[in-house]
Structure 1
Amino acid sequence: MIEAAGRAGVQVIWDIFHYGSPDHLNRGSEGMIESYASFAAEAVRLHRAMTGKAALVCPINEISFFAWAVEVGYFPPAGPKRKGWFKRHLVKAAVQGIRAMREADPECRFIWAEPLIHVAPRDRSRPEIRRAENVRLGQFEAYDMLMGRVEPQLGGSEDLIDVIGLNFYPHNQWYLHGPTIPMGHHEYRAMSEMLVEVARRYSKPIYIAETGAEGSGGPAWLHYVCDEVRAAIGEGAAIDGICLYPVTAYPGWDNSRHAEVGLFSVIHGDGSRRLRQAMAEELARQRRLFNLDSR
């Protein structure tokens, strides 16, 4: 993959741990942390040896979602069934992994990805509002732990994060224990407001690490996200990029449907993919609005 990226002239942010792990490892064990740190160090060492450059690394993808998925049984169980335990376990792994990667190559940089969400109360009672707000604020726990702002015993510190990554999709806003909030509803929160909140909370560079929508909604969603990013930049948020995810269509997680997203279609019988023209045109338009074509 390093060789292919070099031939194509593509700069890659390498995801070291994106949910999957070797079957022989117990993900809830100290042995997993040690194995992860060893693998992470070897990955950045190999990158330096092959390219002569330091790696850009996402140490662990979406700690918040990963921990939630394990706790509710969407992913296989790991460790004791104590709320919040696996999230702290992943933070400890990340801390140890970063130490190992820095020892292997002090110049590598750490670029993260966490969900950006909004949770609204189902009614305006004080207990319901408080519960919804507590869930909403949970989106910041992983970053706060990694930076050592809470639970410093986990080993976090501000320098573990070079860039804040935020993943945002049409389903990232919902009612507490209820359905998704549709765009345009009075409870739907503007993405720009959410970005400004994160920017003021952390004072670090930000990028949209994942965003996209299926089918005919793709171009309109890209239009919305880019408009909101420009609005947030206008409010002083340091947002440096937007990543379409995924760039190719893929089989859906839960039902293997053909999820038509990104720039390129599902694979055809001859092994080719077609360019999704409406997405390509909207992407070109947004590049012009961001003045990217002149760079």
Structure 2
Amino acid sequence: MLDHGISTVRDGLRWHRIERLPGWYDWSSTLPMIRAARELGVQVIWDVCHYGYPDGLDIWNPAFVDRFAAFAGAAAALIRDEQEGVPYYCPVNEISYWAWAGGDTARISPFATGRGNALKRQLVRAALAAIRAIREVDPRARFVQSEPAIHVRAAPDRPRDADQAERYRQSQFEAWDLICGTMEPELGGDPSCLDILGINYYPDNQWFLTGGMIGLGHHCYRPFREILREISARYTRPMVISETGAESTARPAWLNYVCGEVVAARSVGVPVDGTCLYPILDYPGWEDDRVCEVGLLGPADETGRRPLCGPLAAALAQQQLALASADRGREAPAVSDRPTLGLAG
């Protein structure tokens, strides 16, 4: 990673591997990562929960929130003692997506349908409890709240769907609104809990309400810079692109597009302080065993070496220079001491 100018990363703590028994933590899968990052001078944004949780724990039960808060506090104590500098955490990755995929469409755990709103609120409770537990242990901590940025509109031949499409589009803000307490403050949200906005954005994040992706280049496609500007105006928080990427030959072109839109947004004062290439490695598909060619590095061979995606590496280097050049004269960003083009693994 350092060979490619990447020194800020997102990585997961893997709660399900650490807390195999209630209240008992095995950090053997985590300590090597923390210590390697410290030795190499790599800044890590730690995902405390990235869809996974311990076996036998009922996500719908209040005990889920309590267990997660205790785990988050224990992790923060470990990282405080092992890692130098201000720690960064993403308490619960993509609350909105998890609520849809796990609560409405049964694609991932807890494999429910028709319960997306309830799951979203339970995950918000857990995130808020984790933030407070971490701050008790380490008041320096900063938090990235990563959510998908989407655009939904009525199909051109169905203008009557415009209001419904707009309601769907507005739903992307619910998790952030719940966390900062502007929506349903009885959940415990507070403005201080909404720190850095993490924006996850992919080629399929725009679609028509009745189905069908709005692809880049379509006349209905909303420029990413406009999405960023709207989010910034709504929340006035620092922002990072916390996930972005494409598959196969689309990888370099998509990175060039997103980074160009980030530069355009920054030029009008939108505080985007980093862009996170996700993922760094190719991986097996969620629903099959095909290798998804999405990473900078491919599958390891028998010697442990991984092939480099040359076109993506070239685009990465080009965009790092472009972001650094465009940033000259700006105040220091919130997440690190320079603009970053990072990754999540």
Q: Normalising by structure 1, what TM-score? A: 0.95
Question: Residue 255 in 1 paired to residue 303 in 2?
Answer: no
Mapped partners of 2:134, 2:253: distance in 1: 40
Task: Identify the match of residue 95 of structure 1 among 108, 113, 128.
Answer: 128
Q: Match of 2:211?
A: 178
Amino acid at match of 1:156: G
Contact 1:56 1:108 in 2 (8 A): yes
Distance 1:253 1:164, change over 3 A: same
Q: Match of 1:137?
A: 170
Mapped partners of 1:95, 1:80: distance in 2: 24
Mapped partners of 1:280, 1:124: distance in 2: 41
Mapped partners of 2:82, 2:136: distance in 1: 18
Q: Match of 1:122?
A: 155
Deviates more, 1:240-249 or 1:126-135: 126-135
Once the two structures are superposed, what CA deviation does each residue of 1:155-202 show, in whole Å capped at 9, x if it has no partner? 111111221000000011111130111111111110011000001011
Q: Match of 1:6?
A: 38
Q: Match of 2:139?
A: 106
Contact 2:262 2:272 in 1 (8 A): yes
SS of the residue aligned with 2:207?
A: strand
Mapped partners of 2:241, 2:132: distance in 1: 26
Q: Match of 2:17?
A: none
Contact 1:29 1:79 in 2 (8 A): no
Mapped partners of 1:54, 1:282: distance in 2: 30
Once the two structures are superposed, what CA deviation does each residue of 1:78-99 show, in whole Å capped at 9, x if it has no partner? 7895451110111111111111
Task: Identify the match of residue 244 of structure 2 among 211, 214, 218.
Answer: 211
SS of the residue aligned with 1:130?
A: helix
Question: Residue 146 in 1 paired to residue 184 in 2?
Answer: no
Question: Residue 158 in 1 paired to residue 191 in 2?
Answer: yes
Mapped partners of 2:251, 2:113: distance in 1: 40
Contact 2:106 2:112 in 1 (8 A): no
Gaps of 5+ in 1: none
Mapped partners of 2:91, 2:74: distance in 1: 13
Deviates more, 1:267-276 or 1:11-20: 267-276
Gaps of 5+ in 2: 1-32, 329-337, 339-345
Using the aligned pairs only, state the percent identity: 45
Deviates more, 1:40-49 or 1:7-16: 7-16
Contact 1:26 1:78 in 2 (8 A): no
Mapped partners of 2:225, 2:172: distance in 1: 16
Task: Identify the match of residue 53 of structure 2 among 1, 16, 21.
Answer: 21
| Structure whose residues are more often strand by fraction | 2
Once the two structures are superposed, what CA deviation does each residue of 1:190-242 show, in whole Å capped at 9, x if it has no partner? 00110000010110101100001111110000110011111111222111010
Deviation at 1:7, TM superposition (A): 2.2
Deviates more, 1:9-18 or 1:71-80: 71-80
Mapped partners of 1:256, 1:62: distance in 2: 24
SS of the residue aligned with 1:216?
A: helix
Mapped partners of 1:48, 1:154: distance in 2: 28
Amino acid at match of 2:301: H
Mapped partners of 1:27, 1:106: distance in 2: 27
Matching of residues 47-62 of structure 1 within 5 Å: 47-62=79-94
Q: Match of 2:95?
A: 63
Amino acid at match of 2:119: F
Q: Match of 1:243?
A: 276
Q: Match of 2:7?
A: none
Deviation at 1:54, TM superposition (A): 4.0
Deviates more, 1:55-64 or 1:72-81: 72-81
SS of the residue aligned with 2:92?
A: coil
Amino acid at match of 1:99: R
Contact 2:38 2:84 in 1 (8 A): no
Mapped partners of 2:83, 2:316: distance in 1: 30
Mapped partners of 2:219, 2:80: distance in 1: 50
SS of the residue aligned with 2:269?
A: coil
Deviates more, 1:43-52 or 1:145-154: 43-52
SS of the residue aligned with 1:84?
A: helix
Q: Match of 2:69?
A: 37
Question: Residue 84 in 1 paired to residue 123 in 2?
Answer: no
Amino acid at match of 1:271: G
Deviation at 1:112, TM superposition (A): 1.6
Distance 1:124 1:158, change over 3 A: farther
Deviates more, 1:46-55 or 1:255-264: 46-55
Q: Match of 1:265?
A: 298
